[in-house]
Amino acid sequence: MLGIETSCDETGLALVRGRELLADVTASSMDSHARFGGIVPEIASRAHLEAIEPTLDAALGQAGVGLSDVDAIAVTAGPGLVGSLTVGSAAAKALALGLGVPLYGVNHVVGHAAVDELVHGPFPERFLALVVSGGHSSLLMVRDIARDVVELGQTLDDAAGEAFDKVGRILGLPYPGGPHVDRLAREGDPDAIAFPRGLSRGKDLARHPYDFSFSGLKTAVARYVEAREDSGAGVPVADVAASFSEAVADVLVTKTIAACRAHEVDTLVIGGGFSANSRLRELAAERCAAAGVDVRIPPIRYCTDNGAMIAALGSAVVRSGVAPSPLDLATDSQMPLEQVVMGAVA
Ligand code: ATP
Ligand code: FE
Ligand code: MG
C-alpha cells in the first residue's frame, strides 16, 4: 500500500505491507511559511508539486521496491487545504490509473489514529481515540477504524495545537509555537497560575461532556501577560507556559478518561501533532494507569503529518473490505470525521 499525505504543509509518502512499515519519507515546506507566522496555502500547494515525485522516489528506494510492486494507493481526501489536497489526489489518481490498482481516498484525522497499528499492533475490538493536532481536537469512539468511527466530542473553537501556537505568539516565540511552549513549560511551575479549564463545570460540562474549548484559556493567558507587562512586573514566561500546558493537558485527559469510563472502554489511542506534547503524554500515562486504561501513543515522528498514517489507514480499509473510491474521487477540505473513505459521488 502506497500512502500519500498532502493535506497541509507536509508531503508524506510511505509504503506498508499490512501493518508493517516499509518506508516513510516526509518533505516539509514549514520553513517557507515561518516568516509569515502561518501556513500560506499557495506556497504549500506549490511545494507539494515540487516535492511529490522526489519524495515518492525516496520512499520506493527506502523500501527497496518499484512502482510495479504497489498493489493499492491511499491518499488523503480531506480534511485539509484544498490546493494541497488536490496535488496529492491528482498524483494518486494518475498513479492508480497508470498502475491499474485501486485507489482509496481516506480521512486525514482518522489516519492520525490509524498509524498506531504500525507501532503497537492490531487494535482491540473497540477503543477511544483522542486526535489532537493543529486543526482538530476530537474524541472518537472506534469500533472499526475503516468504517465505524463516531465523534463523541470536539473543540468548539481552537484546536489544542492552534491554542499552543497562539500562546507561542503571545509569549514572543517563533512559529509554530507549540514545541517552543512545550520546551519552556518544562522549566516552569504548572501550579503558578490558575488558568481556566473550559467546559469543565456545571451546565457547561453537562451540555458538553466530551467537547473542548481553548479560546477562553488563550484569552486568559493574553490578559495575564498584558497585566504583568503593564504593571512592569515582568512576565514569568516559563510559569505561564507550564500553567497553560497543564490546563490544556488536564482538560484533555480528564474528559477522555471520563469518556472511557462511560463507554466501558479500556484502550485509548492518542494521535495527531499535538500528541507530541510532553505534558499530555505524561499526564495521560499517569492517569490512564490509575484508571486501568491501556494508553497507546505512537512515537513523535508518527504524530505529526506523515504518509505512514495514510498508508496504515488504507491497509485497515482493505482488511475491512471497504470498496475503493472512484478514480474521479473528490477531495473535501471539510471531510467529516465519521467518513473514513471517500465514496462515489451520489
Ligand atoms: P490537522 O491534523 O488537524 O489537519 P495539522 O496537520 O496542521 O492539523 P499536525 O501537523 O498534526 O496538525 O500538528 C501540528 C500542530 O501540533 C501544531 O499546532 C504544532 O504547534 C503542534 N505541536 C507539535 N509539537 C508540539 C508539542 N511538543 N507541544 C505542543 N504542540 C505541539
Ligand atoms: Fe495532521
Ligand atoms: Mg502539519
Model confidence at 157, in pLDDT bands (50, 70, 90)?
Answer: very high
Q: Which three cell numbers stand for residue 306?
A: 506523515
DSSP 181-211: HHHHHTTS-TTSS----TT-SHHHHHH-TT-
Q: Does the C-beta of 5 come closer than 6 Å to ligand 1?
A: no
Instruction: Give the global pTM.
Output: 0.96
State whether CATH 3.40.50.150 applies to domain 2-114+306-319: no
Q: Residue 292 pLDDT > 80, yes or no?
A: yes
Q: Does the C-beta of 302 come closer than 6 Å to ligand 1?
A: no
User: Is the peptide bond between 236 and the residue preceding it cis, with omega within 30 degrees of 0?
Assistant: no
Q: Does the C-beta of 304 come closer than 6 Å to ligand 1?
A: yes
Q: Residue 168 pLDDT > 80, yes or no?
A: yes
The reported pLDDT for the residue numbered 64 is: 98
Q: Does the C-beta of 102 come closer than 6 Å to ligand 1?
A: no
The mean pLDDT of 323-336, rounded to a whole number, is 96
Q: Does the C-beta of 116 come closer than 6 Å to ligand 1?
A: no
Q: Is 322 annotated as a binding residue?
A: no
- Give the percent of the chain with pLDDT over 90: 98
**In angstroms, rounded to a whole number, what is the distance separating the alpha carbons of residues 140 and 210?**
10
Q: Residue 202 pLDDT > 90, yes or no?
A: yes
The mean pLDDT of 167-188, rounded to a whole number, is 97
- Residues 104-132 pLDDT 10s: 999 999 999 999 999 999 999 999 999 99
Q: Using the mean position of ligand 3's atoms as its centre, give its distance from the Cα of residue 29 in Å.
A: 10
Residue of 214, 274, 301, 337 to mutate, ligand 1, most atoms within 8 A of C-beta = 274
The reported pLDDT for the residue numbered 345 is: 61
Q: Nearest residue CA, atom 28 of ligand 1?
A: 277
The reported pLDDT for the residue numbered 34 is: 86
Residue of 278, 301, 304 to mutate, ligand 1, most atoms within 8 A of C-beta = 304
Q: Does the C-beta of 179 come closer than 6 Å to ligand 1?
A: yes
Model confidence at 146, in pLDDT bands (50, 70, 90)?
Answer: very high
Q: Using the mean position of ligand 2's atoms as its centre, give its distance from the Cα of residue 133 in Å.
A: 6
User: Is the peptide bond between 79 and the residue preceding it cis, with omega within 30 degrees of 0?
Assistant: yes
Give yes or no on whether 2-114+306-319 and 122-302 have one common fold: yes
The mean pLDDT of 135-142, rounded to a whole number, is 97
**In angstroms, rounded to a whole number, what is the distance separating the alpha carbons of residues 167 and 40?**
20
Please report, for the chain, the start and end positions of each structural domain, with discontinuous segments joined by +. Answer: 2-114+306-319, 122-302
List residues bridging with 151 in a β-sheet.
Answer: 140
For residue 136, the ligand closest to its alpha carbon is: 1
Q: Residue 346 pLDDT > 90, yes or no?
A: no
Cell 510495479, residue located: 68
The mean pLDDT of 203-213, rounded to a whole number, is 98
The mean pLDDT of 83-102, rounded to a whole number, is 98
Q: Which residues line ion ligand 3, judged by CB < 5 Å?
A: 8, 305
| CATH class for the region spanning 122-302 | alpha beta
What value does the CA radius of gyration of the chain take, rounded to a whole number of Å? 20
Q: Which three cell numbers stand for residue 69?
A: 510492486
Q: Does the C-beta of 214 come closer than 6 Å to ligand 1?
A: no
First-to-last C-alpha distance (Å) of the chain: 27
Q: Residue 164 pLDDT > 70, yes or no?
A: yes
The mean pLDDT of 141-152, rounded to a whole number, is 98
**ipTM tops 0.95:** yes
**In angstroms, rounded to a whole number, what is the distance separating the alpha carbons of residues 139 and 142?**
10
The mean pLDDT of 334-338, rounded to a whole number, is 96
Q: Is 120 annotated as a binding residue?
A: no
Q: Using the mean position of ligand 1's atoms as its centre, give its distance from the Cα of residue 70 in Å.
A: 30
Model confidence at 35, in pLDDT bands (50, 70, 90)?
Answer: confident
